[in-house]
Amino acid sequence: MEKSGEYELDYWSSVSHGDTRLTAKEAQEINSELSLYDLMEVGQRLTSRQVGDVVSYAISYNINYSNYCAASCPICAFYVPIKTKGKTDRGYELSVQDVGRETEAAKKVGATEIHIVGGFNPDLSLEYYESIFSEVKKRLPGITLKALTIPEIDFISTTTKNSLREVVERFVKAGMDAHTGGGAEIFSPEIRKQITTPEKISGEKWLSDAALIHSMGIPGNSTMTYGHVEDWPQIIDHMIRIRDSQLETPGFLSFIPLKFSPENTPLLKMGKVKGPAPADKDLRVIALARIIMGMAIRNISVYWVSLGKEVAQVALGCGGSDLVGTAFSEKVFGATNRTEQTSTEELDHMIRESGRIPAVRDTLYRIVRYS
């Protein structure tokens, strides 16, 4: 079918809004044939139809329980090798009391969500995680607790010799409400070999673990780390596989494209990347996410920490419907010198300036209040 101009934009907007699953070939066609402006226009039309004018965010407080890690992924600046434990002062493990103090800090800022992630630390027991989750819920009974990436949960299952199902069941009983969706990186095996290490599960295992966790009634986000050594075919493949997983076993609350921040990472030091991806790629990624996900995942999140506030605000006009959160006390991106902070007032202002309505939500995308 020949498509051009306004008709072309209407065509792709209608296809992506319906029940049709866009193929990889169609997504490639959209990306290669449409200008950035037109791609953004399609993304915005879909956003208006699918979620309306509200842009949400969580008042999120991050607790990074440990930076010791058995993996040494080239894309990460946060980890401290577990083999250096006792030989360096750069590594840490939070005690239950430390987590309690962090929770009190979260209470003071009015957090609607606690976000807990860390490294692959083989010295921490299953009971340790149960204790810190219980501590959070004891101090903030009404908070939603979003805890651990899927690779972390899988690593804990392996090192403690418990099934993934048993680990999740115990974590839920201790207070976990959702998984974070992190660690997906890029599913392509060829790209994954360059940006991760064998200690991190494959893309296929990430998807199968997610399906199992979702089948147990535990939701979470989905992510993609882009802007390193991947190209558009791998980005599109990743998005389509996330979407198809959602259609088969629902459970993803949102899709969050995470722009790779290269500072202080081995990937930068090895010369495999020269710097962060350009802003036009960021905007194309957000627009394509909206177009590919269709009605399967309607919350397309714009992580201002990785994009920067100016680009994040523009991204709200091409497919983004959520700013993720305040990310108070965030340390993973902070390790790459992304130390910019924000406030609820600033996020509200960013949203209003983009012509949208700001709203505070919890982890499960339930609106707490409109600002």
- Judge whether residue 2 has pLDDT over 50: no
State the average pLDDT over residues 105-127. Answer: 96
Confidence bin at 7 (pLDDT 50/70/90): low
State the average pLDDT over residues 127-145. Answer: 97
Bridge partners of 360, per DSSP, are 57, 369
In a domain, 14, yes or no: no
> Residue 319 in 3-state DSSP?
coil
Q: What is the CATH number of the domain that holds 286?
A: 3.20.20.70
Q: What is the pLDDT of residues 162-180, one digit of tens each?
A: 999 999 999 999 999 999 9
What is the reported pLDDT for 3? 45
Confidence bin at 87 (pLDDT 50/70/90): confident
Contact by Cβ (8 Å): 103, 60: no
In a domain, 10, yes or no: no
- Judge whether residue 39 has pLDDT over 60: yes
Question: In this structure, is the dihedral angle defined by the CA atoms of residues 215, 112, 314 and 332, taken in order, positive or negative?
Answer: negative
- Write b or e for each residue in 7-31: b if 16 or more Cβ atoms lie within 10 A of its Cβ, otherwise e: ebbeebbebbbeeeebeeebbeebb
Query: Which residues neighbour 94 within 8 Å (Cβ) at sequence distance 6 or greater?
Result: 63, 64, 65, 66, 102, 132
> Which residue's entry shows tokens 């100016």?
310
Confidence bin at 18 (pLDDT 50/70/90): low
Angle in degrees, CA 78, 82, 88, rounded to 5: 80
Phi-psi group of 161: left, alpha or beta (phi > 0 → left; psi -120 to 50 → alpha; rest → beta): left
> Which residue's entry shows tokens 């108070």?
328
Contact by Cβ (8 Å): 113, 146: yes
What is the reported pLDDT for 88? 87
Pairing mode, strands 113-117 and 357-361? unpaired
Pairing mode, strands 68-69 and 80-81? parallel
Distance of CA 49 to the CA centre of its chain: 23
Structure tokens at 325: 């959160």
In a domain, 179, yes or no: yes
Bridge partners of 42, per DSSP, are none
State the average pLDDT over residues 182-209. Answer: 96
What is the reported pLDDT for 371? 84
Confidence bin at 152 (pLDDT 50/70/90): very high
Query: Which residues neighbour 5 within 8 Å (Cβ) at sequence distance 6 or greater?
Result: none
In a domain, 86, yes or no: yes
Confidence bin at 16 (pLDDT 50/70/90): low
Domain containing 189 equals 48-370
In a domain, 32, yes or no: no
What is the reported pLDDT for 78? 87
What is the reported pLDDT for 86? 86
Q: What does pLDDT average to over the chain?
A: 93
In a domain, 210, yes or no: yes
First to last CA, the chain: 45
Rounded CA-CA distance 229/191 in Å is 7
* Torsion (CA) 36, 304, 77, 112 in degrees, nearest 10: -140
State the average pLDDT over residues 140-157. Answer: 97
> Which residue's entry shows tokens 């915005």?
44
Question: In this structure, is the dihedral angle defined by the CA atoms of residues 127, 131, 133 and 137, taken in order, positive or negative?
Answer: positive
Number of domain units in the chain: 1
Contact by Cβ (8 Å): 173, 182: no
Rounded CA-CA distance 150/154 in Å is 6
In a domain, 92, yes or no: yes
What is the reported pLDDT for 17? 63
Q: For a pLDDT cut of 90, what percent of the chain falls above it?
A: 86
Contact by Cβ (8 Å): 176, 132: no
Considering only CA atoms, which of 302, 309, 363, 345 is closest in space to residue 55? 302
Confidence bin at 1 (pLDDT 50/70/90): very low
In a domain, 23, yes or no: no
